[in-house]
Amino acid sequence: MTRLVTLAFFALVLAAAAPSRAAITRRDLADVGVTPPPGAALPLDLPLHEDATSKPLRAWLGAKPAVLVLADYTCETLCGPIISIVADALDHSGLRAGTDFDLIVVGLDAKDTAADAARMKQAQLGADDSAASHFLTGDADTVGALAKALGFVSVYDRERDQFAHPAAAFVIAPDGRLARALPGLAIDPATMRLAIVDAGKGTVGTLTDHIRLLCYGYDPASGTYSVAIGRILSVAGGVTTIALMLLIGLLLWHQRSAPQTAATALHGEARSRTPTTE
């Protein structure tokens, strides 16, 4: 997957607001971004916590696609808006939380507590206590391994105790495979829906969704699905081929059944002309 073009808004804020002796340099900020490695997949045995519950990542993912966001729970700039935008896209996608997908947020800062995660969840999702939304925490090694698997590069600003990081949301397949990386500040419900349907591999969405996936291609540069002319031509060609095969089969069937029908008709006519005796 090519480098995701995404707006590291927080990084730009830091760069603009930082004094000349800032802890983060422009060279540091140049490394901030999302570049998933080929065939990216999450380490499913990573231990993550929500309140007093601790489970490996595979248990949090379950058997359905998930939308994952890495966020700093004490961030006062970018993280809240990212979560809000992602949640809004999910709400308007037409898919069912807890049935078609789960929302998983993982804290970037290992110092953040369960209380910090709960406050962020309350601030961005309100009174939503859905079991389909998990705001998790983990230690530094766990968060580092997760970020590395996703190709997610952030920079810690010790002076402000915050992270400069990219704005991104990750659609994860049930087996832990990274299906899509989406720009966190420009996610629309239609793109979110198709990404989750794509990750579900036939278990999520309607027939119309799957037909659209046949005709749409994902563009990593823009983080959106767009009409792919080549795919449309392939699908149209396949449909045309099937239709022609059915037509040829129907014609052959009629051709073979015509003599039998004629013979049956002649036999019936001959019987009707045969004189009968009383």
Q: What is the pLDDT of residues 199-217, one digit of tens each?
A: 998 788 787 766 766 666 5
Match 């004490």 to its residue by tokens. 74
Q: pLDDT-based confidence at 21, cuts 50/70/90?
A: very low
Q: Which of 40-54, 69-83, 95-109, 123-137 has the lowest mean pLDDT?
A: 123-137
Dist. CA 112–CA 80, nearest whole Å: 15
Q: Provide the token pair at 230.
A: 């080549």
| Confidence at residue 129, expressed as pLDDT on a 0 to 100 scale | 63
Q: Write down the pLDDT at residue 132.
A: 86
Tell the burial category of 275 from Cβ atoms under 10 Å away from its Cβ (0-12, 13-18, 19+).
Answer: exposed
Lowest mean per-residue pLDDT among 45-59, 94-108, 221-235, 255-269: 221-235
Residue 10 backbone phi and psi in degrees, to 5: -60, -40
Position 74 pLDDT exceeds 70: yes
Average pLDDT over every residue of 244-268: 64
Question: Is the pLDDT reported for residue 56 higher than 70?
Answer: yes
Q: Report pLDDT for 243.
A: 63
pLDDT score for 100: 94
Output the average pLDDT for the chain: 78
Helix (H) or strand (E) run with residue 229 in it: helix 229-273
Report whether pLDDT(47) > 90.
Answer: yes
Length of the chain: 278
What's the rounded Cα separation, in Å, for the pair 113 and 157? Answer: 19
* 1 in Cβ contact with 220 (< 8 Å): yes
Least confidently predicted of 142-151, 165-174, 186-195, 231-240: 231-240
pLDDT in tens, 145-170: 999 999 999 888 888 788 888 889 99
Q: Residue 81: how many CA atoms within 13 Å on its side-chain side?
A: 14
Average pLDDT over residues 98-126: 93
Torsion over CA: 235, 239, 242, 248 (sign):
negative
Mean pLDDT for 232-255 is 63
Please give the Cα distance from 90 to 83 (Å, whole number). 11
For residue 276, what pLDDT band results from cuts at 50, 70 and 90?
A: low
Under the banding of pLDDT at 50, 70 and 90, the label for residue 29 is confident
Inform me whether the pLDDT recorded for 70 exceeds 50. Answer: yes
Q: Does the CA dihedral 182-184-190-194 come out positive or negative?
A: positive
Question: Could you give all domains of the chain from N- to C-terminal order, each with its CATH number?
Answer: 9-200 (3.40.30.10)
Listed ranges 119-123, 125-129, 218-222; the one with the highest mean pLDDT = 119-123
3-state secondary structure of 219: strand
Mean pLDDT of 100-114: 94
What residue ranges in 35-138 does DSSP mark as E strands? Answer: 47-50, 53-56, 66-71, 102-107, 133-136
Given a cut of 90, is residue 114 above it in pLDDT?
A: yes
Strands (E), the chain: 33-34, 47-50, 53-56, 66-71, 102-107, 133-136, 152-153, 155-157, 162-164, 168-172, 178-183, 216-219, 224-227
Q: Which of 72, 75, 42, 74 is nearest to 58 (CA)?
A: 42
Q: Are strands 102-107 and 133-136 parallel, antiparallel or unpaired?
A: parallel
